[in-house]
Amino acid sequence: MPITVTSRDSALTIALSGEIDHHGAREMMAQLDQAIAERLPTRLVLDLSGVTFMDSSGIAVLLRSRRQLEHTGGELRVTGIPAQARRVLDAAGIGRLISLE
């Protein structure tokens, strides 16, 4: 479950790829936790354009990142959302909680 981290000033972009399900979610959360804790970004962009499948485990990943950012006073945006992941996020009404682009 690879993630790619790019940072510029206090902004962090993390590209997620592959399938996000319960099987891989724990490792992905740990990687995200570490990246956020190391850099304490004021802005975090999660780029989902490389995600080939996502179920509600992906929602848990996003909500956890949001909570982490709230602790540091940062802002979370989610970009590059593929159609299947968008349908999952829309069904759960996540757009009310997180900025989806």
CA atoms within a 13 Å half-sphere pointing along the CA-CB vector of 101: 9
- Verify binding: residue 59, other proteins, rule CB under 8 A: yes
Give the one residue of 2, 6, 26, 49 binding other proteins; rule: CB under 8 A. Answer: 26
- Verify binding: residue 19, other proteins, rule CB under 8 A: yes
- Verify binding: residue 92, other proteins, rule CB under 8 A: yes
Helix 22-39, helix 56-72: angle, nearest 10: 10
Considering the complex, what minimum distance in angstroms separates the CB of residue 80 from other proteins? 17
Give the one residue of 5, 11, 29, 98 binding other proteins; rule: CB under 8 A. Answer: 29
Nearest CA to 21 out of 59, 64, 78, 50 is that of 59
